[in-house]
Amino acid sequence: MSKNDDITYLGVEQETSEKSQEPLKKSKTPKNKTKFKTKKHSFKLNRTIAASKGIKISKKTVIILLIVLAIIILRPIKFLQDTLEKKRQYYALLQEYEQNTNGIDVNIDLKLNSLWNNIVYVSGEKYYVNCKNTMLLPVDGSVTAHYDFAHLGIDMQAKTYPGTVYAATDGVVYFVGTSSKYKNEILIQHTINGMTLYTYYGNLETIMVTPGQAVSSSTPIATEAGTSENVALTYDGEPHHVHFAVRKSPKESSGLNPLIFAKYR
């Protein structure tokens, strides 16, 4: 081996040993920093815990917390009591109507649709209480389809054919038009005991009134659509009838049970 070889070998060896030492020097720095951060974090945590031990809850705060807790517990109980009471009031109105109409069925169901009946009453309680029995049903006939969550009104068929449809009570014609659901239709606005209600008449043949016209319970406003029960059925698959609804607003979704408001003619 020549001197040059020795120098080369020693140079490589020296360079390698220097490089191998570099990682060792760098690895010490992060460890020291981590220890420092850990100690600093631990110090802050201990100081926070020590400070929290000195917090005192006043008697007034305890009383407020107890009141809030009582409200959280008792409110659902009060809601259930109110629900049962509203349901009883709604059934009482229906039973009162049934008695006033010589026992004619008004679709009282004390088991099915109980939640629905309660919602119906609560949503229109002020109207039911202040405006009950203030209208007449639109035709001299019988109810063929009752009010429920899928049918926000009733269907009535006149005793004679074709049946004449009358306004339920004093009011002003709000709208006359057509829809895909009920074909020819009329909407009348009423003010009863200081409250505004709307009556709706659908499934009509001949319209006899115009928007803005004043009407009363003796005013003929239309005739039922359809034909006699002995021949072809109407376009919606049923014999002649009128769809009648009482609403809080012009919207169909605001419909209330018409039998609370309207008596037989």
Question: Per residue in 160-204, pLDDT tens?
Answer: 888 899 999 999 999 999 998 888 999 999 999 999 999 999 999
Do residues 247 and 147 make contact, with C-beta atoms less than 8 angstroms apart?
no
In a domain, 97, yes or no: no
- Is 111 within the bounds of a domain? no
Q: Of the ranges 5-9, 86-90, 185-189, which one carries the lowest mean pLDDT score?
A: 5-9
76-100 average pLDDT score:
70
Q: Domain check: are 148 and 26 in the same one?
A: no
41 & 158 share domain: no
CA pair distance 118, 112, nearest whole angstrom: 12
Residue 99 lies in a domain: no
CA distance 59 to 248: 49
pLDDT for residue 61: 80
- Answer for the pair 224, 203: CB distance below 8 angstroms, yes or no: yes
Least confident of 6-10, 30-34, 101-105: 6-10
Q: How does the average pLDDT of the chain come out, rounded?
A: 76
pLDDT-derived band at 59, boundaries 50, 70, 90: confident
Are both 48 and 139 inside the same structural domain?
Answer: no
Domain range enclosing 18: 1-55
Domain count, the chain: 2
What mean pLDDT do residues 75-94 have? 70
Residue 84 resides in a domain: no
The CATH number covering residue 138 comes to: 2.70.70.10
Is 196 among the domain residues?
Answer: yes
- Domain assignment present for residue 31? The answer is yes
Query: 206 or 114: which carries more pLDDT confidence?
Result: 206
Same domain, 48 and 141: no
Give the number of other CB atoms < 10 A from CB of residue 34. Answer: 10
Domain assignment present for residue 61? The answer is: no
78 lies in some domain: no
Give the pLDDT band of residue 92 (cuts 50, 70, 90): confident
